Structure 1
Amino acid sequence: MLACCGAPAYAQAIPREALQHRAALKREAQRIWGLDAPVATFAAQVHQESRWRVDARSPVGALGLAQFMPSTAAWIGGVDAGLSERAPLNPTWALRGLVTYDKWLFDRIKADNACERMAFALSAYNGGLGWVYKRQQRSEKPGLCLGVTCAINPGIYPASQRENAHYPEVILRQHEQLYRTWGRGSCE
């Protein structure tokens, strides 16, 4: 029925768990990014990371809503005094950590426009800023991530490359649509 009506095949709903964190995400996003923060993008990122499960744990050791690795949680605690607690299983800490880390990455990336810059920041969140820089160095179009530079494998395992290239695409082109009522997205 959905296909006949023009709805995307990936149509899904916002998890119930997300609704209890909406105000905290908006507050933390605006604290770090300003009143025009791309809240829909951050919500989509949390959706991709944990499906809004506070107690999410990955097989490699990432924890919480934002799936912080212990080393990243320790590092981000030194970037923002409000994160010194280093508590990735605390929902407010995780949301503040996510938007803080995204901002830190965003500020270090050059791209053709804000959408592409956020795509690179998301790629860096998922796989590391160094890999983004290596991709940009090897690209004929270093300012374009989506469908161009992020598809370049800078020397990582093929499965990791596929995941990393997919990460900004699914957040910005699929999940972000679910959260448009929460605020603007990065690619509007």
Structure 2
Amino acid sequence: MRKALKDFAAAVGLVLACALLSLTLPVQAQAPQAAQQYRALLVRTAHAAWGLDAPVAVLAAQVHQESAWRADAVSHVGAQGLAQFMPATATWIAGIDPALAARQPYHPAWALRALVTYDRWLYDRTPARYAPKDRMWVALRGYNGGLGHWQAEAAATGAARPTRAQVDAACGRAKRAPVHCRENLDYPRRILLVIQPRYAAWGPGL
């Protein structure tokens, strides 16, 4: 009888310990409900415009950051739709992909194709010597603040083959005003490190 009571007490103690541990572990944030209606569309679009190796989790995290999956989103500077394209960029992107000639930033299919197409265009112009995650970091900085600024800052480092970290440190030392550096540097950090894990089940990430 005494042994049975000890075994019971030990079992209860184990259950309580597990319950307390579960309370102290961080809860992994999930993709919001608003994103679910666009999951299949984003995956198809990413595969069509980028390839089967498309970093779907990153692309989903970017849409999350840009518009919180609101197709009717409008920023204070006039960026529109899920991908938050400015009108001039929405016109320019048609030269990259004729399928985007309709310029419909509020249409989810158009917006997602535009985002994936622009990301791929930017990624292809990042240093091939960088690791894929660093290349995506640069592409995201370009999406947010213009690839020309990043290229000017790369030149401003004075290094023949600057690292991604060296170019990040040179933010504001060329054409970009230093006041914009905090937002531009935080943009890829939030997408790749903070938001991307929410979309791990959607497809490959970086």
Same fold (TM > 0.5): yes
Q: State the secondary structure of the residue aligned to 2:70.
A: coil
RMSD of equivalent CA atoms: 1.9
Q: Distance in 1 between matches of 2:58 and 2:162?
A: 22
Q: Using a 3 Å threshold, how does the CA distance of structure 1 residues 79 and 155 change in structure 2: closer, same or farther?
A: closer
SS at match of 1:59: coil
Which residue of the partner structure matches residue 181 of structure 1? 201
Count of equivalent residues = 181
> What is the CA-CA distance between 1:144 and the residue it aligns to?
1.6
Is 1:4 the counterpart of 2:24? The answer is yes
> Offset at 1:3?
8.3
Quick check: 1:55 aligned with 2:72? yes
Of residues 128, 151, 163 in structure 1, which corresponds to 2:183? 163
Unpaired runs of at least 5, structure 2: 1-19
> What's the CA shift for 1:155?
4.1
Cα shift readout 1:38-67 (whole Å, capped 9, x = no counterpart)? 000000000000010000000100000000
Which residue of 2 is the match for residue 29 of structure 1? 46
Q: Report the alpha carbon displacement of residue 91 of structure 1 after superposing the two structures with TM.
A: 0.4
Q: Which aligned pairs between 1:13-162 and structure 2 lie closer than 5 A?
A: 13-110=30-127, 111-139=129-157, 140=159, 142-145=162-165, 148-151=166-169, 152-153=171-172, 154-162=174-182
Farther-moved stretch of structure 1 (157-166 vs 176-185): 157-166
Percent of residue pairs bearing the same amino acid type: 48
- Partner residue, 2:4: none
In structure 2, how many angstroms separate the alpha carbons of the residues matched to 1:3 and 1:88?
Answer: 43
Amino acid at match of 2:182: R
Q: Report runs of 4+ in structure 1 exceeding 3 Å deviation.
A: none
**CA–CA distance in structure 1, aligned partners of residues 191 and 140 of structure 2:** 8
Retained in 2: the 8 A contact 1:28–1:96? yes
* Equivalent in the alignment of 2:12: none
Whole-angstrom distance in 2 between the partners of 1:3 and 1:120: 38
**Distance apart, 1:107 and its partner CA:** 0.8
- Deviation digits for residues 73-92 of structure 1 (CA, Å, limit 9, x no counterpart): 00001211110110000001
Shift of 1:16: 1.3
TM-score, normalised on structure 2?
A: 0.82
Q: SS state of the match for residue 47, structure 1?
A: helix
Could you say which structure has the higher helix fraction? Answer: 2
Larger Rg: 2
The Cα offsets for residues 113-140 of structure 1, whole Å up to 9 and x where unpaired, read as 1110010000000000101101212235
Structure 1 residue 4 displacement after superposition: 2.7
| Aligned-partner Cα distance in 1 for 2:136–2:164 | 11
